[in-house]
């Protein structure tokens, strides 16, 4: 692993929270204290009971500092297509397109490891919102291994989601945490506007 304490600081600077917390990830400003939906409640239970070990997945390989998460892939995208598309940003060392355990169908996301951290950062910056098989993809850091306390989406955590599903999450690239709203500022603004 090519990370050190300085590397950890650099990589964590991209996160909008130093540690993943399921309730905060479901909060627009990171100040909620109660779960607002069943998914957040499940993630909180997993977090508190230690049911999920992000480093215990035997399928996870490679250097997390050289790996990106690629999401919103077309379910028709193959490993070959993804490898070809991501090779524009550097030499792909390892690629894992996540598939359904029973059907073998693509789950719509993958992890791509590059030879160097520099290539990973290039993919992070340049591949985000690019098109692969007519789907606009998102590219993010491998939070599973780099963000303490991480709980994946399948267990109620993760980032992203849609307002319509009631599972809107914050803290990632697409929906960063906003600065906390302070009651005194809100109250004074309310008095000024409606007073």
pLDDT reported for residue 3: 43
Note the pLDDT tens digit of each residue in 9-55.
444 344 446 777 777 776 766 677 777 777 787 888 888 888 887 77
Q: H or E element: which one contains 112?
A: strand 106-114
DSSP string, 151-168: --GGGT--S---GGGT--
Check: CATH 3.40.109.10 for 57-147? no
pTM over 0.85: no
Residue 63 is classified by DSSP as -
Note the pLDDT tens digit of each residue in 100-125.
999 999 999 999 999 999 999 999 99
Domain locations along the chain: 1-54+149-195, 57-147
Q: CA–CA separation, 16 vs 28, rounded Å?
A: 12
């Amino acid at each position: 692993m090519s990370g050190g304490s300085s590397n950890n600081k650099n990589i964590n600077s991209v996160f909008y929270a130093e540690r993943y917390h399921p309730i905060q990830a479901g909060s627009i400003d990171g100040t909620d204290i109660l779960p607002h939906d069943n998914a957040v409640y499940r993630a909180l239970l997993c977090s508190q009971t230690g049911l999920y070990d992000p480093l215990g997945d035997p399928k996870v390989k490679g250097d997390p500092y050289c790996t990106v998460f690629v999401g919103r892939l077309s379910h028709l995208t193959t490993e070959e297509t993804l490898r070809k598309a991501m090779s524009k940003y550097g030499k792909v060392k390892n690629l894992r397109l996540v598939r359904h355990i029973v059907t073998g169908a693509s789950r719509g996301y993958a992890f791509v490891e590059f030879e160097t951290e520099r290539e990973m950062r290039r993919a992070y910056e340049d591949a985000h919102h690019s098109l692969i098989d007519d789907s606009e993809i998102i590219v993010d850091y491998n939070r599973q291994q780099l963000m303490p306390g991480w709980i994946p989406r399948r267990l109620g955590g993760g980032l992203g989601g849609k307002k319509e599903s009631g599972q809107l999450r914050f803290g990632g690239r697409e929906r960063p945490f906003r600065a906390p709203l302070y009651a005194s500022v809100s109250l004074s603004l309310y008095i000024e506007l409606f007073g």
